[in-house]
Chain A
């Protein structure tokens, strides 16, 4: 099987966690990452109502979630911006904040950090192809 180029693999692994391993012909690891990391990311985004991908609400935590390319895409559209209070407005009901907001943000952060590890593994596998041939697929 022809090897994919490093930038192609890196971008694919960043945008869709697990795809880098799948393209590197490591199907078992790729599928595990695809299911677990994306599950974390999707659950996190839904629980936080897309606040986890907002640079307005989480200017620092956003960068940990940005390990998954989807977070960067969400931040571009920023659907959570409608929750922001402008001018003299203030929160009237605590219920205005999504109930599982913190858990959601945490899940997206975990997904982002795990994907950074996966991304490094894909890059390492591509560079050290000797390791690739030794490992079980």
Chain B
């Protein structure tokens, strides 16, 4: 659980920096909203992948 929290914290920090330096001027969303969307898609995607890998490894044991 601690590892998951650390991972989410790191992802949130990276999301804020990444979005704030790679925004395209035409985008109309505010930084906060865009960073949240980025965080949810990246963090969520990795957590889902991890769950799939975990389930696969459990099924083969």
The docked-state distance in angstroms from the alpha carbon of A120 to that of B21 is 9
B25 A110 Cβ-Cβ under 8 A: no
B10 A121 Cβ-Cβ under 8 A: no
Number of interface residues of A (CB under 8 A): 15
**A interface secondary structure, majority:** helix
Question: Which of A118, A120, A135 counts the most chain B CB atoms within 10 A?
Answer: A118
**B interface secondary structure, majority:** helix
User: Is A134 among interface residues, defined by CB-CB distance under 8 A?
Assistant: yes
Residue interface bits B10-27, CB-to-A below 8 A is 1, else 0: 100110111011100100
Cβ-Cβ contact count across A and B, 8 Å cutoff: 30
Q: Which of B10, B17, B22, B25 contacts A32 (CB 8 A)?
A: B17
Question: Given contacts A110-B10, A131-B25, are A117 and B16 in contact (CB under 8 A)?
Answer: no
- Residues on A facing B (Cβ under 8 Å): 29, 32-33, 36-37, 40, 110, 114, 117-118, 120-121, 131, 134-135
- Identify 11 residue pairs between A and B in the complex whose beta-carbon atoms are under 8 Å apart, listed by A's number: A29-B21, A32-B16, A36-B13, A36-B16, A40-B13, A110-B14, A114-B14, A114-B18, A117-B21, A118-B17, A120-B21
